[in-house]
Amino acid sequence: MVDPAPGEGCSGPLAGIVVADFSRVLAGPYATMLLADLGAEVIKVEGPGGDDTRAWVPPARGDVGTYYLAVNRNKRSVVLDLKDANDRALAHELSARADVFIQNFKPGGLARFGLDYEAVHSRNAAVIYCSISGFGAGEGASLPGYDLLVQGMSGLMSLTGDPDGPPYRSGISVFDVMTGMHSVIGILAALHHRDRTGQGQHIETNLLSSALSALVNQTSAYVAGGVVPGRMGNAHLSLFPYEPMATGDGELIVIAGNDGQFRRLCAAIGRPELADDDRFDTVGKRNDNRDQLRPLLLTALAARSAQEWFDILTAAGLPSGPINTVQGGVELAERLGLDPVVTVGPDGVPSVRNPIRFSVTPPDYRYPPPALDQQGEQVRAWLGTAREAADG
């Protein structure tokens, strides 16, 4: 079976949108996968060595890193060596035909190939051009955009870990993912603007700005309150209880987000009088007196196991939950009917479902993550035909 030409045969709310994806590793590829799931035709342009994450192992499925598989479904891969004049001409043609051009080279890195915003805009005035960087295109342009650097330099690591212990990184490249999501939001907004006006534009996102936005109440504590927050382990700056707590067997996340929930919690654990104690009867007092309240809660929770308390608190309408492994998280989603895993392509490559549900235009899982240059011949032919037609 021959695949349709790029831009044909897609379904979903973004059907007909062609994305030239010159990004690699995580932030850009995550963004373009989300667009592809929603029907956009994403052409993944790779250098001769391919996306680095193909070789980031272990873990792997066969000889391909699961990191690469996580963010590259629904794309077509073509290898273009931008140092080669013929390949560069094809890249220019792709930029002229694309609705969206996305890249995460260092700021200015594509100018020598005629693929910077000004050059692409000159041949395609309606293009939505998205540049992703680590620290912006100004004074931070020379800084490499690695998520770990941003976790440290943004302040996140100063908030993560025990108060008396070392700072820790998040278990995922959290700001790469968030920057990818912010890029998608910007692209969708720009496409809507183009639909109304016909005007394309340049979108810029960067990991540091995404990080400071994503730190929400923690950055607000400083910029609005003059407070520099620090590490509190699993505790919350403004709520108590809001953390894992030891039970008679295992730990359970226990949450009382308001006074009503705290009253129900006290009743459920057999200590209703705590809700009327003038040390604990408001959110602010519970925060101020958490060192007095914590041992009282722990003594009560020691009477039963984490599973027993989970059943009791859930029945009382209170938020609580176990601390699962990733396997446990996937299995929980399966039990809840969220169908977290989809299989893509004839070989049934497992992939995590797009989290957005639509009543009319659901995400589509057309292609598994492509092998390097898997659709190269097809994409080159499509671009070459377009060039010939334009020349004619």
Within-domain flag for 334: no
For the stretch 258-288, pLDDT in tens is 999 999 999 999 999 999 999 999 999 999 9
- Cβ atoms of 244 and 253 within 8 Å: the answer is yes
Distance CA 112, CA 91 (A): 13
| 55 and 200 fall within a common domain | yes
| 61 and 189 fall within a common domain | yes
| 174 and 318 fall within a common domain | no
| 124 and 253 fall within a common domain | no
In the listed set 301, 324, 347, which residue is the last one of a domain according to the structure?
324
| 210 and 67 fall within a common domain | yes
Q: What percent of the chain has pLDDT over 70?
A: 96
Distance CA 369, CA 289 (A): 52
Give the number of domains in the chain: 2
Within-domain flag for 227: no
Q: Pick the catalytic residue: 21, 176, 276, 277?
A: 176
Using the structure block, give the residue that is written with the tokens 């044909």: 8
Residues 288-295: what's their mean pLDDT?
A: 97
pTM of the predicted structure, to 2 decimals: 0.92
Confirm whether 277 is a catalytic residue.
no
| 267 and 204 fall within a common domain | no
Distance CA 173, CA 29 (A): 13
CATH number at residue 139: 3.40.50.10540
**CB-facing half-sphere around the CA of 340: CA atoms within 13 A:** 11
For the stretch 65-102, pLDDT in tens is 999 999 999 999 999 999 999 999 999 999 999 999 99
Within-domain flag for 1: no
Cβ contacts of 353 within 8 Å, gap of 6 or more: 338, 339, 340, 341, 342, 363
Alpha helices in 51-135 (DSSP H): 66-70, 85-97, 117-123
| 251 and 199 fall within a common domain | no
Distance CA 15, CA 35 (A): 10
| 211 and 246 fall within a common domain | no
In the listed set 298, 324, 350, which residue is the last one of a domain according to the structure?
324
| 68 and 211 fall within a common domain | yes
Distance CA 329, CA 340 (A): 10
**Which pLDDT band, with edges at 50, 70 and 90, does 2 fall under?**
very low
